[in-house]
Amino acid sequence: MTPGPAEPRGARRRWRLPVAAAVGLALAAGAVFYLGGGYDRWQDGRSLAGLCHGSVDTAEVADLLGVDRVRGKDAAAPEGLAACSVDNADSPGNGSLDVRVDRGERGVGTALHALDRDRPSLATSMVMPLGHGRRGVLDLQGRAGATAVVALACPAPGAEELLVTVHTLPAGGRNLLDDPARRARFARVAARAADGAARVWGCTAPAGPEITEVPADTRYVKVPDGAARGTCAGLPGVTNESPADPGAPVEDCFLYAGQDAPRFRLGAYYPPFAAVLPSVADYPVTGPAGGRDGLAWATAGCPGGATALFTVDTVFDGNRAAAPDPALEKEALRTFAARSAQRHGCSPPHLP
């Protein structure tokens, strides 16, 4: 067979030039993508996909933390159903969000520890209702960040409630909850995490409007004698209270000694927290009502056969613990427990 005519040398050169140009453009584009941060952003997006089995919506996390870029990671061996975190991609450790999802007693214990209920007399920790029909609370902890806990019912037979605990520490240690818009953003992030967990694990999250505001930060706002309208309503003296909400599974009220520092802390705990609190806080609770070791407690029956627990304890103000006053504590507990139980649709409490 006669071989075909050889391709002219110039034609080969003309063919190679466009290919070389295309390869060069591709390499240049890749360099621009990499050097311009495109690769980092791609890695960020990849790390955020599917966090905690796909339950965490990270749309507002960068704004919440006050950073430009965030990167996510699932815990390799989580305690519980899932655990994941979102961190400042440019400066790891300087701004973070942590999410934990679990069921039953272990999940409740994790949530109570996150809310500082293992230190029940700590004067500076007070929860506020998440609101918007959700069984959740916010704990606004200043420079230590903020915590949200949401409880979710699971309709499957024998299924224990799901607990979603979210903790955030903004970049620079800034107190994000001084700003109403950032409080609402944190509440949205926590609520969306709970919605995602409900979807993944077959539980129930209430449908409602987008969270645009949450109760004001009332941690350090003293309420004058007779002016309490929230969780301390009906109690005499100077108080520190949060808004009262029938969906809040934990409620707090502080009573002051004069005008200086809180003296007593009153707490209301509804399922699933009531049954686990005594072991987490090392409270000597026995029987439906009583008092022991500076603590007084009461209980009430609630819908579905559940039990609520109400407590009053002296407060440590950072220097000393307030002097006990059993008569005053029990009287305050009677008013606090009766009002809280009625708000939550429970029976009149058993009182000490």
State whether 151 and 256 are in the same domain. no
Tally of domains within the chain? 2
User: In whole angstroms, how large is the CA radius of gyration of the chain?
Assistant: 27
Cα 209-215-220 angle, rounded to 5 deg: 165
Residue 132: the pLDDT is: 85
Residue 3 placed within a domain:
no
Query: Are residue 58 and residue 174 in the same domain, yes or no?
Result: yes
Asked if residue 300 is part of any domain, the answer here is: yes
Give the residues of the chain that fall short of pLDDT 50: 1, 21, 24, 26, 28-37, 39, 42, 44
Specify if 284 maps to a domain: yes
> Which CATH number characterizes residue 170's domain?
3.40.1000
Residue 9: Cβ within 10 Å count: 8
Strands (E), 60-155: 70-74, 82-88, 96-103, 127-129, 136-140, 146-152
pLDDT tens per residue across span 233-260: 999 999 999 999 999 999 999 998 766 7
Q: How far is CA 119 from CA 197, 265, 333, in A?
A: 28, 12, 19
Residue 304: helix, strand or coil by DSSP? helix
Looking at the structure, do residues 227 and 292 belong to the same domain, yes or no?
yes
333 shares a domain with 246:
yes
Domain boundary among 187, 219, 251: 219
Contact residues for 22 (Cβ-Cβ < 8 A; gap 6+):
none
pTM equals 0.85
DSSP letters of 108-163? Answer: HHHHHHHTTTTSTTBTT--EEE--TT-SEEEEE-GGG-EEEEEEEB--STTPPPEE
- Which residues, 6 or more positions from 144, have their beta carbon under 8 angstroms from its beta carbon? 169
The reply to whether 73 falls in a domain is yes
Q: Which of 219, 240, 275 is the last residue of a domain?
A: 219
pLDDT of residue 109: 93
- To which residue do tokens 């000694």 refer? 257
Structure tokens at 104: 């039953």
Cα dihedral across residues 321, 324, 328, 329: positive or negative: positive
Considering the domain architecture, whether residues 141 and 227 belong to the same structural domain is answered as no
312/189 same-domain check: no
Q: Has residue 36 been placed in a domain?
A: no
Q: 307 and 208 in one domain? A: no
Q: State yes or no: cis peptide before 272, omega within 30 of 0.
A: yes
Angle among Cα 13, 19, 23 to the nearest 5 degrees reads 140
Say what the pLDDT of residue 326 is: 86
Q: Are residues 258 and 313 in the same domain?
A: yes
Which domain-ending residue is among 219, 234, 254?
219
The reply to whether 281 and 211 lie within a common domain is no
Amino acid (one-letter) located at 175? N
For residue 35, the model assigns a pLDDT of 45
Q: What is the pLDDT of residue 280?
A: 92
Pick from 212, 104, 83: which is nearest to 151 by CA?
Answer: 104
H/E stretch holding 66 reads none
Express each pLDDT in 102-124 by its tens digit. 999 999 999 999 998 887 666 56
Q: Does 100 map to a domain?
A: yes
Short-list 223, 234, 188, CA closest to 343: 234
Segments forming the whole domain that contains residue 190: 46-219
Instruction: Flag whether 96 is in a domain.
Output: yes
Same domain, 66 and 206: yes
In a domain, 2, yes or no: no
Backbone angles phi, psi at 338, to 5 degrees: -65, -45
Shared-domain flag, residues 151 and 87: yes
pLDDT attached to residue 99: 95
Same domain, 68 and 125: yes
Per-residue pLDDT at 320? 67
